[in-house]
Amino acid sequence: MVKRIIWLLCILLLLGLCSCSSEKEDVALKSKGEIMQYANEKYGKAVYVSEENGTDKITYTLQDKKYKFNYECTSFLTQFGLDGTYTDLYYETTTSTFDKEYCKFILDTLNLDNLYQNYPSGGKSKNPFIVAVIFEDDKLARESIPEIAKMCEKIDSRGYFSDYHIAVYDNSKEYLGIYKLSEDKYIDKYEEKAALLIYEFAWEVNGDRENLDGITYLSYKTIQYKDVEGLQLEWLNRDDVLGEDWTTAYYFDYKGKTYFMLDDKVFISDENNLPRNIYDDYYTNFWFEE
């Protein structure tokens, strides 16, 4: 009953926020003038090229006035749904290929010899990437990538991709880290991971990922699983791991004591030795603190 009430409230809220209708014919798709206003405000000055009418949609092809590349804006009919259930309500949605085409324009303009064309989207990072490049090693990346960043920023004169990052890989396509355009700073994969794990560690020691009181990140170290204090391999819930394999331990100071957290999640059902069952949490020796 409560779920149904919430569902109805969401419908009412949507009705108040957008032009919904129970009749498809009553939902207006964006006109040429409206799509031009949308594009000019969101992406910068655009030039109309053409349009194509389809079933319940109109696709407009526009050209960026400054950089001369084409992109599409599509205005289409969307059926309102909630929790897997569709209603008889319809509303207009606008999408665009600008980001994709602008990024392609920047890559074509950069014309880098060490461009990683088909890199895994996001790599091991959650950050949005504008470009991925390959270097022989981390040292060379640190020395060379600031120049590529300056080139990106010069081309992207509007700062549209200022919150994006450059992904860095080595010759064997192993992920090395990112360069943050907004900070002009290279962060290797270990520093990047430590910045995420400190919040996971805060959850374990303070019960709140945002509460970093008493916590200081110290360092990291690669270590073989067989040398990890207290770890049982079966807790990793993987068939392909051996004691001689390597992982990374990140060390934190918490209220004057040093603890580590592995870059590995574990599943532990052992309430005799732990205060709770562990499901998909990063392994830390803090659990065994007496």
Q: Which of 81, 28, 37, 35 is nearest to 56 (CA)?
A: 28
- pTM strictly above 0.85: no
Same domain for 197 and 282?
A: yes
In sequence order, the 6+-apart residues with CB closer than 8 A to the CB of 51 are: 32, 58, 59, 60, 61
What's residue 1's pLDDT?
Answer: 47
Q: Which of 96, 127, 157 is the last residue of a domain?
A: 96
Distance of CA 78 to the CA centre of its chain: 26
Average pLDDT, integer, range 104-131? 76
User: From CA 140, how far away is CA 132, in angstroms rounded?
Assistant: 15
Q: Which of 64, 96, 128 is the last residue of a domain?
A: 96
pLDDT digits (tens, 9 = 90+) for 271-287: 676 767 888 999 999 99
Same domain for 75 and 159?
A: no
What's residue 260's pLDDT?
Answer: 97
pLDDT digits (tens, 9 = 90+) for 198-241: 999 999 999 999 999 999 999 999 999 999 988 999 999 888 89
In the DSSP assignment, the letter for residue 115 is B
Same domain for 78 and 161?
A: no
Q: Which domain holds residue 251?
A: 191-288
Phi, psi of 15 (to 5 degrees): -60, -35
Residue 50 lies in a domain: yes
Residue 279 lies in a domain: yes
Higher pLDDT, 86 or 50: 50
What's residue 103's pLDDT?
Answer: 87
Same domain for 196 and 221?
A: yes
Q: Using 50, 70 and 90 to split pLDDT, how confident is the model at 123?
A: very low
Residue 149 has pLDDT above 80, yes or no: yes
SS3 of residue 16 by DSSP? helix
What's residue 19's pLDDT?
Answer: 59
Q: Using 50, 70 and 90 to split pLDDT, how confident is the model at 121?
A: low
Same domain for 36 and 21?
A: yes
Residue 221 lies in a domain: yes
Same domain for 197 and 277?
A: yes
Buried b (16+ CB within 10 A) or exposed e, 115-148: ebeebeeebebeeebbbbbbbeebeebbeebeeb
The number of domains in the chain is: 3
Q: How many residues does the chain have?
A: 290
Q: H or E element: which one contains 77?
A: strand 70-82
Q: Which of 52, 72, 96 is the last residue of a domain?
A: 96
Maximum average pLDDT range among 31-35, 116-120, 128-132: 31-35
Same domain for 172 and 199?
A: no
In sequence order, the 6+-apart residues with CB closer than 8 A to the CB of 284 are: 201, 204, 259, 260, 261, 262
Same domain for 144 and 227?
A: no
